[in-house]
Structures are given as structure tokens and as C-alpha cells.
A and B are shown apart, each in its own frame.
Chain A
Amino acid sequence: MTLKKILLDALKNKTALAGFVLVVFFALVALFAPVLAPSSGRDSYQMPQGGYSIQPQAPSGEHYFGTTENQYDLYYGIVWGARMAFKVGITVVFFALLIGLIVGGIAGFAGGWTDEILMRLTDIIFAVPSMVLAMVIAAMLGRDLGNMMIALTIVSWPSYARLVRGGVLSIKEREFVLAAKALGASPSRIFIKHIIPNAIYPVIIMASLDIGYIVLTAASLSFLGLGSPVGTADWGQLVALSRNWILGGNGNPFAYWYTIVIPGSALLLFVLGWNLLGDAFRDILDTKAKKA
């Protein structure tokens, strides 16, 4: 069950392919952000303001997607927002995975009271819906992108810890581990060379597919004003800026449709792509598990 084989299997599946295309599309946008929407200031994530009027402007030659409230360029916001999404998603998943690996690995390997205590710790985090907990933590740490990522990491690591722990528990009993023990290998050697390399594989896959969900939650936090500072290129924030304009003006409620539809579509397609990939991979791993 090598990685190559899994990827090839995955691409045969239509949903996986669709998801893959979407994700790659956004990845390219994120990668080429400096080219697609060159920034002039020092902080590229700050959206440029085309003026100071509150009223959003419709798409035009100057602003391809129009502008939001306070004249932030929507096109710039979307492009750099893609980059921001990947930045947040990857960072959070990476650290949550790291913590989850250590905690879950130790819990599964050591067993006994260590295991109990660590699992109670995860129970505490699971006691509150992740959205609510992330919101409360982000609020108390202060409105800042880093703080939001910390909040999301705290909320995410327990699921990975549980997964890793489960994997470790089953690997612990496998014969190659017993053989290593019979050879005289020290517990740390067994843990590092035998258990961890075999336990992390499925978890890494699952974790990377969570990036969509993380970005969704991050966008919600940004929408509530608990994420990045005002004016940062962040899809959630862009939607928040559209809130005052969804009822339109001059008798036309759809007058400012672009302020919500464009960032909303970006979010939808991004998350959809990851979910399609996630579904396809989950199906494949399931059938492989059944065959094995």
C-alpha cells in the first residue's frame, strides 16, 4: 500500500479528480499571488484601499472583482486570501498533527495512568463544540492572526491524538514489534523506529484532508472579527465586510452581490475541493482496510 499506488487509485475516481483539480487551482493561485496581484506595500497580506468611501464599487477594469466596504480591492483580497487560506490551513494542521502525534504516541505506547490522564485531557477539549471553544480562546488571546491559529491548533490536536493512539495500540501488538523486543531493542528505539513510522502514515493523510475544514472554521472566526486584523486579505473578513450591503440600495437588493458572492464562492470551491478529496481518500482507505 504505497503512496504512489494510493494516489493512482485516487485519480481514477471522478470525485477525487474534481477535488484534486479544485485544490490544485487554488494552490496555484496562492503560489502565484505575487504575480497575479502584485503588492506594493511591505505587508502583502494587507489589502490595498482604492479610496476611503464606504460604499463598495462594482467590478470594473480597475478592480476586477469590485471593491468591498472601505474600498478594499476584492480581486487582491481573493488572490491573497487563497494564499492566506493555505498558510492558515497548513500551519494549523502541521502543529496540531505534531502535538497529536506526541501526545497520542506517548499515551498509546506508555499505557496505564499516562494514557488515562492524556485521554482525559482530550476529553476536556472535546467537551465543547470546536467552533465555540476556538471562538472563546481566540477572543481571550486577543484579535490576531497568530492567536487565531493557536486557538484552532488547540481545538484540533485531540482528534489526531486519538487517531495516533489507536494506531499505536494496534501496532504495539504486531509481531515485528515483538521481534524487535526479543532482539533487545530499547523502548525508545521501538517507539521511534518501529511504532511511529507505521502509525503516522494514515494520520497524515487524514490530517491534510482536514485543511478544508480548518479554513472553514478560520473563516468563521474571521467573520466574527476574531481573526486577522482589519484589512487583511482573508476570505472570512471579506464576507464580514459585505454584511452591511446585502440588502442592497436604491431599491435593488442585489446591487452589491459581488461583495458576498465572490468571496463566498471562493470559500465554497476551496472547501468543496478538499471535501471531495477527503471523501475519495476515505473510500479508498476503507476498501483497502477491508481487503487487508
Chain B
Amino acid sequence: MTELLRVENINKSYVSGSAWGGIKTQVLKNINFAFNKGESYGLLGPSGCGKSTLARLILALEKPDSGKIFIEGQDIFSLNSKELKQLRKKVQPVFQDPYASLNPRMTIEEVLSEPFIIHEEKPVNTVLKKLLSQVGLAETSLEKYPHEFSGGQRQRIAIARALTLNPKLIVADEPLSSLDVSVQAQILNLFADIKEEYGLSLVFISHDFALSKFLCTRVVVMDKGTIAEEGPAENVILHPQSTAAQTLLKAVLPLGIQGGGNV
């Protein structure tokens, strides 16, 4: 079993205010976890606990103050730009806001071709169309612009984009939170489908336990920048030990859990 993702001693802080002096906030403190290929990780926690920051670090969109992240054994922050660009093929994002995750000025064809162009490959039309059908969209979508699609459809396009380079890991930051309840189930199922089809792993960030339980093998509960609890999904969700996890469970109405679990 090869290790897919390892997060080691990650610390991250932000300085708010102008360049002339501001307040330093510690967003992530000593984060450690790892999982293997084929597993999927749920990142749970209330807003402000640092989940999105962690996601950005895993995607190498930002650098930590200290600590390392390994993807398939590679220390992503010690790579040079060429190596980093290659590495990016392995880990791709799906973001929360479907209205902001697509460039309004680009057609869907351009959106899906871009990954290929960036990596100096020629985008093949049939491949693009296949991607679209994988996520449940019609071929005609290629000529259209993002504003012609609904939120759920845009999220599908975002997922298609994430799949273009055949990643090993998809980091999804609350991908369902901005969608209508009726659409959430569809997209959730889509995630499950592609997970199977492509054999990829997910880091699935959300504040909803049921979603995590459905998709993920292991779960991490975060609270104010630290890990409050970690373990197999079933255990953490049905028998939360830490106060953070318990509070979270009480506060959120689960989707699909029958009869209300005894907490």
C-alpha cells in the first residue's frame, strides 16, 4: 500500500492589515496526518478552523511557515518550478463556489483545454467530450459560457476540469455547500462515481458528517487550527470522543442519517 498523502508538522499563520504592521493569526498548528492510495479523507470542522488553508497548502497554492507535505513520497515544497508543475498533475481542486470557480470569459471548451495547453499537450476534442459525458453533461456544452449553466452544472464542469490530467488526488473544498439541497445528492453521487472509475483519492472538506461518512474512509475533525480527533470515519462520526467533534455533530443536521444517532 503506497502512501499517497502525508502532512507533517504543518504550521501556518497570516498577518492581517497593511504591510506596515498588522496582527498575526495562527491558522494551523502542528497538523499531522497521512493516508494511503485508495483511501479518502474527510476534513471536518466549523468555519474558521483552518480547513481551507490546509486545502490550499496541499494544493501547493501557498507555503507553510514550517512543516512538510508529501504527495506520493515527494516533498512538494522542496521541488523546483519544473518539478512542481509536473506534480500538479497529481493533485487537483474542486472549490466551493461554482459561480467563482470558472473564468466567466472562457468557453467550456477553453476551460477544459487549458490543462492540456499548460502542459504542452494538444487538447483532443473527443477526450473533452468524454470528460463531459463522464460528469453528466452534453457535448454541446463545449461552446457555451459558464453563465449559461446552473450551479450544479458548473460544479460538474469544475470536476471535469479536475479530471483532465488524470490526478491521483482531488482536494474538494466544501463542493456541495453552495448548491441546492436537491442538487447536492447528485453531485455527491458524482464524486462517488469518479472515485470508483478513476481509482482516485479524495480529501473532502465539509462541515457535514453524513457526507464525509458516505465518501470517506478516514476522517479528521479540526478545531481552531489543530486536529481534535482523527480516525476511521465510522468511529469518529458515530462515537465522537472529543468535545469539538461532539459539538459539531450536535450543531449540524445530518443528511440521510436515520433516527438521529445517539450522541
B165 CB contacts on chain A under 8 angstroms? 183
Chain B residues numbered 98-115 whose CB sits less than 8 Å from any CB in chain A: 100-106, 114-115
CB distance from A191 to the nearest CB of B (A): 13
A175 within 8 A of B: yes
Q: Count chain A residues whose beta carbon lies closer than 8 angstroms to a beta carbon of B.
A: 21
The majority secondary structure among interface residues of chain A is: helix
How distant is B100 from chain A, measured CB to nearest CB, in Å?
A: 4
> B54 to chain A: closest CB distance in Å?
14
Beta-carbon contacts under 8 Å, A102-141 to B: 112, 116
Q: Is the CB of B92 within 8 A of A183?
A: yes
Contact B95 A178 (CB under 8 A): yes
Interface mask (B128-158 → A, CB under 8 Å = 1, otherwise 0): 0000000000000000000100000000001
Q: Is the CB of B118 within 8 A of A189?
A: yes
Tell me the complex Cα distance, A85–B128, Å.
Answer: 50
Residues of B in contact (CB 8 Å), total 30
Known: A179-B161, A182-B61, A184-B119. Is A198-B103 also a contact (CB below 8 A)? yes
User: How many A-B contacts at CB < 8 Å in the complex?
Assistant: 60
- CB <8 Å contact, B92 and A175: no
* B86 nearest CB neighbor, chain A only: A184
Q: In the assembly, what is the distance between CA of A180 and CA of B118, in Å?
A: 9
Partner pick for B93 among A174, A182, A185, A193, CB 8 A cutoff = A182
Question: Measured between alpha carbons, how far is A180 from B61 in the docked complex, in Å?
Answer: 10
Nearest CB in chain A to that of B161: its residue: A179
- Please indicate the chain B residues that have their CB under 8 angstroms from the CB of A197 in the complex: 103, 105
Whether the pair B89, A179 counts as a contact (CB closer than 8 A) is no
Interface status of B249 (Cβ within 8 A of chain A) = no
B88 at the interface (CB under 8 A from A): yes
Q: Nearest chain-A residue to B89 (Cβ)?
A: A184
Q: A179 contacts B158, CB within 8 Å?
A: yes
Asked whether any CB of chain B lies closer than 8 Å to the CB of A64, the reply is no
A175-B101 contact in complex given A182-B88, A183-B92, A189-B118, C-beta closer than 8 Å: yes
Measured CA separation A1–B99 after assembly (Å)? 13
Interface assignment of B97: CB less than 8 Å from any CB of chain A: yes
Inter-chain contact B103/A194, CB cutoff 8 Å: yes
**Chain B residues near A (Cβ < 8 Å):** 19, 56, 59-61, 84-85, 88-89, 91-93, 95-97, 100-106, 114-115, 118-119, 147, 158, 161, 165
> Apart from A174-B100, A176-B101, A185-B114, what are 15 other A-B pairs with CB-CB below 8 Å?
A2-B147, A175-B101, A176-B100, A178-B56, A178-B93, A178-B95, A179-B95, A182-B93, A183-B114, A184-B84, A184-B88, A184-B118, A186-B118, A198-B103, A198-B105
Report 27 cross-chain contacts, Cβ distance below 8 Å, ordered by A residue.
Answer: A1-B147, A174-B100, A175-B97, A176-B100, A176-B102, A176-B103, A178-B56, A178-B59, A178-B93, A178-B95, A179-B101, A179-B158, A181-B61, A182-B59, A182-B60, A182-B61, A182-B88, A183-B92, A183-B114, A183-B161, A184-B85, A185-B118, A186-B118, A189-B118, A193-B103, A197-B103, A197-B105
